Amino acid sequence: MSRTTRGTLAVLLACAMGLSGPVSAALNGVLTVRWDPNTTDADLASYRVFISSDASVFALTPAQAAPLATTRVVSKTTTETIFNTLDPAKVYWVAVTSIDTSGNESVFSTVVSAQPRDTTAPAVSLTAPTAGSTLSGARTVSANATDDVGVAGVQFKLDGANLGAEDTTAPYSISWDTTLTPNGSHSLTATARDAAGNTTTSTSVAVTVTNVDTTPPVVALTAPAAGANLTGTLTVSASASDNVGVVGVRFKLDGANLGAEDTTTPYSIAWDTNTTTDGPHTLSAVARDAAGNTTTSAPVSVTVANADVTPPTVSVTAPSAGAVLAFTVTVTATASDNVGVVGVLFQVDGVSIGPEDTAAPWSISWDTLPIANGTHTITATARDAAGNTKVSTPLSVTVNNDRTPPTPPPNVRVIP
């Protein structure tokens, strides 16, 4: 048989190299050793695995090294073995030999090294606050944590959610502002982590938060917009926030309650403006938190205009009074209304000169050729959505189109 081990040797680790820290008396490091099978020697009987924390052992022959290292003989069909009582703080060197049926042993395979995987999780317990404590304001949450190799960090949790960042240096603690947590019962835990990724979560500690909340909510009306003219049924809405929590928003119209308090976000209410008199009104919103603190939003002024009896105002702006016109000209007007103008109709001598213009700026193109020369009157009639109309002050102009055809040229002749 050849005295050279056939195959490739690998040490498998589930943790990073280079762990350091105090080591307990209980050794828990784990190394998995694998190698490719020896396919060269037909009389292969077994393999022998050598492991030692002293690298110099592997400078000797296998026979010399055997008493100085930990060895394990495995069958020829085995290509893996696990060592699980190693010191996770040390580096170990590993090699494998082949043994034939005559008892001949090969030289060492390639020698590889690795640090065992730490399989022992840390121990951790909360030390403050104590179970059953009633808390308010800023409090310190602290824990004790130990590990056979070393604690890498402690993450505190409130009701299962991270409470701040992981504390990576002892003593392990964090400051908790309980005013940011709703009053009532809550659960605290601490999760300790070692460098190998092993974690342990402490026994939970139940505490009660009881803060005297003196901070009022913040609230603002978001609809309708200030200055809006309102008709029919619409939505009045507000945004509200609080350091602990908003429990309700009540809307007010001219200082009186507008419907019931809305207790769920988004905060809004439907307002039928037909039940309110036409004219200017003031809307506001009052936000309330669980402690009874309230805040009233800045007021928003609006106008209810359901029964619109106010006609628009309108005036012709072009052409100017007394103008002499010919061919095609543009007639324009200005118009306004307490609610809104929906159209302007232009007329000459009481007869429409085109369809109603339904979009500002108000204007129309007027072909003066079809009417007789002379003085004519232009008006504009504005209309609002309620059907109220207003006719502008008549504007007098003169149409003077030259309708006389020219004289043909004289003495037309043909020259051969």
Sign of the dihedral through C-alpha 32, 37, 38, 43: positive
In a domain, 413, yes or no: no
Please count the other Cβ atoms lying within 10 Å of the Cβ belonging to residue 114: 18
> Which of the pair, 402 or 123, is modelled with greater confidence?
123
Residue 148's pLDDT is what?
82
Instruction: Read off the pLDDT of each residue in 165-192 and give the average, rounded to a whole number.
Output: 95
Q: Are residues 106 and 25 in the same domain?
A: yes
Q: How far is CA 78 from CA 9, 35, 46, 73, in A?
A: 13, 9, 8, 10
Look at residue 293 and tell me whether its pLDDT is greater than 60: yes
Q: Which of 304, 335, 360 is the last residue in one of the domains?
A: 304
Instruction: Read off the pLDDT of each residue in 160-168 and give the average, rounded to a whole number.
Output: 96
Q: Which two tokens stand for residue 378?
A: 């232009």
- Rounded CA gap, 396 and 378, in Å? 6
Cα angle vertex 412, ends 409, 414, to 5°? 155
Instruction: Give the CATH number of the domain where residue 180 resides.
Output: 2.60.40.10
Q: Which of 97, 114, 131 is the last residue in one of the domains?
A: 114
Q: Which of 304, 330, 365 is the last residue in one of the domains?
A: 304
Q: Residue 342: phi, psi to the nearest 5?
A: -110, -15
Q: Which two tokens stand for residue 183?
A: 């009053």
- pLDDT over 70 percentage in the chain: 94
> 3-class SS at 92?
strand
Look at residue 261 and tell me whether its pLDDT is greater than 80: yes
- Rounded CA gap, 231 and 353, in Å? 33
Look at residue 61 and tell me whether its pLDDT is greater than 70: yes
In a domain, 32, yes or no: yes
- Rounded CA gap, 235 and 327, in Å? 52
Q: Quote the number of domains for the chain.
A: 4
Residue 203's pLDDT is what?
97
In a domain, 415, yes or no: no
> Which of the pair, 411 or 384, is modelled with greater confidence?
384
Q: Are residues 268 and 175 in the same domain?
A: no
Instruction: Read off the pLDDT of each residue in 160-178 and give the average, rounded to a whole number.
Output: 96
How distant is the alpha carbon of residue 336 from its chain centre? 45
Cis preceding linkage at 280, omega within 30: no
At 9, the pLDDT band (50, 70, 90 cuts) reads low
Range of the domain at 169: 123-209
- Rounded CA gap, 238 and 217, in Å? 12
Q: Are residues 203 and 127 in the same domain?
A: yes
Amino acid at 137: G
